Chain A
Amino acid sequence: MSPAEQSQRSRSTRNGWLLSAPALTLLFLAASGPLLIVLVYSFLTPGQYGNVVWDFSLDGWIGILFTRDIFDGTMNLADAHLTIFWRSVKLSLMTTALTFALGFPTAWFIATRPPAQRAMWLFLITIPFWTNLLIRTFAINEVIRNEGLMNTVLTGLGLISEPIRLINTDTAVFIGMAYVYLPLMVLPLFAAIDRFDMKLLEAGYDLYASRMQVLRHVIVPIVKPGIVAGSILVFVPSLGAYVTPRVLGGGKNMMIGNFIELQFGQGRNWPLGAALSMALLLIVMAALLVYVRASTKGSNPHG
C-alpha cells in the first residue's frame, strides 16, 4: 500500500468514526451506558421488596439455567426457562418469515409505482401504525374473534357455515404479530428495492432467464441489505413482544419479555432479571453478527 493510499485510508477511517460519533454518544447516554448498571445488578443480591442489595452474588446468573426446587431443595435444570426461551425464538422466526412473505411483494409493488405515487403508498403502510399498539391489537381481535367482522361477513356471504375459530390460537398470534411488525419489514425492503436498477431485469430476461431465476439471481442479491435490515428489525423486537401474544393468543404462556418483566415486577428478583437480559443480549448479538457476516459476504461491491 502506497503512503498516499494509506493516508487516504486513515482519513476515511477517521471520517467514519466522526460521522458515527453523534449516534454513539446518544446511545451511550441513553441506552448502552445505562445498561452497564444492569450488568452490575446481575451480580448483586435481590432486595427484599424488589431492587437490589449491594452484596456480590452469582445467583442471578446461575438462576438462568438452574433452579432450586422449592419443594425438595435440589438444584435442577430450569426447563421452564428453556421452554419460554424456545417459544419466543420460534415465534419470532415464524413472524419474520411471514412478514417477509407479505412484505417483499408489498415493497416491490410500492417501489414499482410511478415515483410521484411512491410516497403516498409508503404513508399508507405507516398510517395504521399511528394508532397505539394496544388499540390496534384490540381492533385485530375485533376482526377475527368468533362473532367478529371476518366471521360475520363470511357467514353472511354463505362461504362458511361455522365461524372460523382463530382467537386464542397460535395462528392468531402469528397473524397479529405479522400485522404489527409489517412496516418494519416493508420500509427497509422498499429502501433497498427502490434503488434497484430495473434495466438489470431487462438484461436478465434478455438472457432468457425465467422469472424465478431472475428473482433469485438478480433481485435477491441486490436487495439483500434490505432483507437483512428488515429481518433484524422484525426478529429481534418480536423476541421481547408480549402485548400481541397476550391479547390474541390468550397469554397463557409467557414470552421471554414477560418473564424478564416478572423478575423486575412481582417476582422481585432484579438480579435474575438483569442476568437474563444480559444473556439474551449476548445471544442476540452473537446471532446478529453471524447473520450479518454471512449475508453480506461478497455482496458489497464498493466495500
Chain B
Amino acid sequence: MAERSFEVSRLPGFATVAIAVFVLLYLPILTLVVFSFNSGPSIAVWQGWSLHWYTDAWNNEAVKGATIRSLIIATAASAVATSVATMAALGTTRRAAFGGQTFIYVVINQPLMVPEIVTAVALLILFGVVKQATGYQGLGYLILAHAAFCTPFAYLPIRARLEGMDLSLETAACDLYANPWQTFRHVTLPLLAPGIAAGAMLAFVISLDDVVITEFVKSGGQDTLPTYMLGQMRRAITPEVNAISTALLGLTVVLLTLFFILTRKKN
C-alpha cells in the first residue's frame, strides 16, 4: 500500500527540481562557512585558514549577548505567535461563515501589509510612552512586537492545513463520547501537527531575522544579532559574523541529529 501510493505520487521532474533546490540552498551557506575560517579580516578575500574569528566572537561580550538575546526573543515570540495563531486558525476555519471572519483574517495578516519601518515607527512612539510611564524597559517589548509580526507567518500555514481537513474523525470521536478537549488533544492536534510545525518554524526564523522593528523598539543593551550586524554593514563586515552563523548552524545540526536519533530509538 505504502509502496503503491509512493509510486503514484511521483511526478516527473519534481524530485530533480527539489534536489537542485536543496543544493542551491546550501551553496551560499558553504561559502559563508568557508570564510568563517579566513585568517584575514574580509568576507570576500581569502587569506588562509585560521580559527581566530571563533575565539574573537567567543570573547566578544557584545556578540555573545546579542546571539543569546536573539535566540531568547525568537523562542519566546514564536511560542506566543504559534499558540495564538493555532487558536485563531481553529476559530476561523471549518465552521459556518460568520460576520467578522474577514475582519479577523485581515487583522491577523495586517503586519504583512505595511513595510516594517511603519510598524517600527508606530511602536517606537507607543512604547516610548509606555516605557516612560511604567519605567519597565526589559525584553518584553521586543518579545511582544516580534510575537505580533510573527503571528501571520504562523497562522497561514496552520490555516492552510486546517482548511478542508476531514471532520469525520472528530465527529467519530465525539460520537464515542470524547469531550471536546479530548477530541482536540487526541484527534485534531495530531492531524494539525505538521501545520503547527511549519508555522512555528517560520515564526522562529522570521523573528531571528528581524532588523528594523528591533532597531526601533530595543532599549539600552538590547542589541540582537541582526541589529549588531546592521551597525557593521556601513563600515566593514568581518568573518566574525560568519563564525557566529556557522557556530549556530553547527549547534542546530547537532541538536537536530540528537533529536532524530532519540526519537528513532523510541520508535
Q: Direct contact between A and B in the complex (CB less than 8 angstroms)?
A: yes
A: residues with CB less than 8 A from B are 9, 12-13, 15-20, 22-24, 26-35, 37-38, 102-103, 105-106, 108-110, 112, 114, 116, 118-120, 122-136, 138-140, 142-143, 148-150, 179, 182-184, 187-192, 194-195, 198-199, 201-202, 205, 211, 215, 222, 225-226, 228-230, 232-233, 236-237, 239-240, 256-257, 260-261, 264, 270, 273-274, 277, 280-281, 284-285, 288-289, 292, 296, 299-303
The answer to whether the Cβ of B60 comes within 8 Å of any Cβ in the partner chain is no
Q: Which residue of B lies closest to A22 (CB)?
A: B84
CB distance A281 to B107 under 8 Å?
no
Quick one: given A102-B21, A277-B118, are A228 and B241 in contact (CB under 8 Å)?
no
CB distance A192 to B161 under 8 Å?
yes
The answer to whether the Cβ of B85 comes within 8 Å of any Cβ in the partner chain is yes
CB distance B112 to A232 under 8 Å?
yes
| Cβ–Cβ < 8 Å partners of B21 in chain A | 102-103, 105-106, 182
CB distance A27 to B151 under 8 Å?
yes
Residue with the greatest number of chain A CB neighbours at <10 A, chosen from B201, B242, B249, B253: B201
The answer to whether the Cβ of B109 comes within 8 Å of any Cβ in the partner chain is yes
The answer to whether the Cβ of B56 comes within 8 Å of any Cβ in the partner chain is no
Not counting A26-B151, A118-B194, A273-B121, a sample of 7 additional A-B residue pairs whose C-beta atoms are within 8 angstroms of each other reads A9-B96, A35-B122, A109-B19, A132-B229, A135-B229, A184-B153, A191-B194
In the bound assembly, the distance between CA atoms of A142 and B44 in angstroms comes to: 7
Q: Which residue of B lies closest to A29 (CB)?
A: B144
In the bound assembly, the distance between CA atoms of A2 and B217 in angstroms comes to: 53
Q: Which of the segments B9-17, B47-55, B131-139 contacts the partner chain?
A: B9-17
Residue with the greatest number of chain A CB neighbours at <10 A, chosen from B14, B241, B242: B14
| Cβ–Cβ < 8 Å partners of B29 in chain A | 128, 131, 136, 139
* Chain A proximity mask over B33-63: 1 for CB below 8 Å, otherwise 0: 0010000000110000000000000000000
| Cβ–Cβ < 8 Å partners of B164 in chain A | 222, 225, 299-302
Quick one: given A37-B122, A190-B198, A303-B97, are A202 and B113 in contact (CB under 8 Å)?
no
Residue with the greatest number of chain B CB neighbours at <10 A, chosen from A18, A148, A191, A302: A191
| Cβ–Cβ < 8 Å partners of B122 in chain A | 34-35, 37-38
| CB proximity of A176 to chain B, nearest CB, Å | 9
| CB proximity of B86 to chain A, nearest CB, Å | 9
In the bound assembly, the distance between CA atoms of A236 and B149 in angstroms comes to: 13
| Cβ–Cβ < 8 Å partners of B32 in chain A | 131, 135-136, 138-139, 142
The answer to whether the Cβ of B189 comes within 8 Å of any Cβ in the partner chain is no
The answer to whether the Cβ of B264 comes within 8 Å of any Cβ in the partner chain is yes
| CB proximity of B21 to chain A, nearest CB, Å | 5
